[in-house]
Structure 1
C-alpha cells in the first residue's frame, strides 16, 4: 500500500535540519575554551544525527507504503529514547553553562569591586598627590620669593661692590697718574737743572773771563748756548709727548722721505751695522709733518743702534696696511681704516713684555746713566698720535725689536715742500725795511728788537695789541708785523686781522712758546701761516724774517 506524503509539509523540517549543522559548528566554536562542554556538544551532535537518521527511516518506510513497519519502528521507542538522551544532555549543558555564567558573574562582580576600589584608591592617591603638589608649590614659591629677596640683596651688594671697586680703581688710576706726573716732573727737573747748571755756570765763567781772556769767555758762551739748545730740545720732546707740538703736516710720499734719509742714517748708526731699506711699490701718500716724521725715524734708529752694540742688521720698511675693526677694538685710540706703515727693525737684544709695556712712558729708559733721556719713544708716540696714527712695538728677548708707525692714508696728491732759500751768510735787511715787534714780555721784546736792529732793520715796538694798532696809525709805513700770539688784551691773531684791514699788504710773522693758541688747532698750524716758535736763535730769526719779507711766508690769518 502506498501513501501520498505532503512534501511541502516537511519543508520546515528540512530547513531546520539544514541549519542544524551550522548551529553545531557555531556551538563548537563557542565552547572551544571548555573541553568538557565541547565533548558534550559533540555528543549532542551525534545523538542529533542518530535521531535524524531514525526519522528518515520512518519517513522512507512510510513513503514505500509500509505503514505497519513505520508504526512498528515508532512503537519500538528508539526515537523517544534518543530525544530523552538529548534532553538530558541539553539540560546538563545548560546547567554547566549557568554554573559557568554564575562564576563569571561573580568574577565580574569581584573585578568591578576591585575596579571600584582601585578608582577610590586612585582618587585618594590623586588627592594626596594634589595636597603634596600644593604644599610643594607653596614651598617652591617660598623658596622663589626667598631667592628673589636674596638676589635683590646680592644685586645691591654687587652694585655697592662695583661702586666701591670703581672708586678704588679710580683712586689707583689717580695714584698712577700722580706717580707718572711725579716721574715726569722729577725727570724734567733733573734734566733742566743739569742744563741750567751748564748755562748759568758757563755764563758766570764767561762774565769772569771776559775782561782778561775774551777767547776763553767765548768758549764758555758757546757751552751755555749748547746747554740752552738742549733745554729747548727737551721742551720740544715734552710737547711732542703731550701731543701739543706745532705740526706743519702736508701730503707726502714716505718712500721718498725714507729713501732720502738712508745715507744720513748709515752715518748716524755707524759702520758696524748693516742698514737695509725695503720700500713698498705703489705706496699710498700720507698726511704728516715731514720734519717730525724724520725725527721719529732717527729716534727709532738710534734706539736700534744702542740695542746692537756688537753689530747687527737695521731694516727700514714701508708698506700699505689696513687696520680692521677687530684690531681697532683691541687697541685704544685706533680708528679702523687704511694706513701707511713705516717700520724700524733690529736684530738686537729685544725687550721683555714689562719693558714694552712702559716703553712710551716719559723718562723711562733701560739704558745706562748718561746714555738716554727716556724721551725718545715718548716723543715718537706723541707725534704719531697727534698725527692721527698708531704705533706698535713687537719685541722678543734675544731676537730683536720692530717698531711700526701707522700714519693715516691720504688720497690727495703729494704736495711740494715749502721753498727753501739758501743763504751764503746770515740774511740782513734790504733797504729801509721796517718791522713792528709786538711782545708783552719786556725782556723777550728787547732781545727781538736788538737782534732785528743788528740785522739792519728799522724797528718799532709795542707791548700789547692796542699800542701796536696805535703805532700803525702813526707810522706811515710798516713792512712786517712780528707779533706774539698770547697777549692779555687781544691775541696776536686778532691783532693781525685788524692790522690787515688797515694795511692789506702787511706781512705777518707769528711767534709763541705756547701751542694751544689762535693759529694752532689740534696741534696743526693753519695753512699759509708764517710761524717762528720760541725759543729761537739769532740765525733762525734772521732766516724767517727774510723768508716772510721775500714772499716765502704769508700774511694770511684765516
Structure 2
C-alpha cells in the first residue's frame, strides 16, 4: 500500500505541474473485467511489454492540464525521460511508478489530449475475482445505432460489442460520413455512439447539429477519461452518458440502459 501511495502522490504532483493556473484533479477507483476485446483497446496506451487481463481494480488519476502529444505519450514511461525543465524535481519518474505497478502484477496506461488533460490508469489484478455476470437477456428491442469514431480500431471494437448485445451498428469513420447517414431519411437511427473528441474538437457541437435533424436521438460518448472527471472539468454535463475506455459489454449495456430511461421505448439489453 505504501508503494501505491507513492505512485498516487507522484502522479498528483505531475498533474499539479501540468496545471500551473489551477484545474481539476480526479482520483477514481473501479472494478472491471478485461476480456480479449478490452485488452486490444488497451494495447496502445500500455507501456511496451505489458499485459493484463481478467478481473482487476483500476485506479485512475486524471487532470485538466495541458495534455501531451502522441510523441510524448510514446516515451512517457522511458527511464530518465521528462518534459520538465532543468532544475525542477522529477520525483519518482513515471518509469519508477510503472515499476511499482508491475511489481504487483499490474499494468499502467496513459490517455492524453492536448489542451484537455491527461489520465493515468493503474490496473491491479484482484486476489479474489469479482466479475460482474453479464446478462444473457436479448435486448428489449434491437436498436439501430450509429457508431462514429475516427479511430478504425475503436470503431470496430464498439461495433462488435454492440452486435454482441443484439443491436445493429451503422459505422461512420468521420463526421462527414455520419452526417450523410443522419440526413438520410430512409435510415432509422435510435442512438448514436461517438467519440467525445472528433478531429481534436469537442463532439458536443456536432451532436447539437445532429439533434436539429434527429431531435429524439440519444447519444453515448466514448472517452479515455472517466465520466466523473469530465463533469468536474465542465467537458460534459451530469446528464450526458459516457463510456470510458476500455469499453466492455457491461459498460455499454449500462450506458444503453441509461439512455433508454430517458426516451420512449427501451433499446437496452
Normalised to the residue count of structure 2, the TM-score between the two structures is 0.50
Bigger relative contact order, structure 1 or 2 (CA pairs below 8 A, ≥6 apart) = 2
> Greater CA radius of gyration, 1 or 2?
1
Of Structure 1 and Structure 2, which has the larger fraction of its residues in strand?
A: 2
**Greater helix share, structure number:** 1
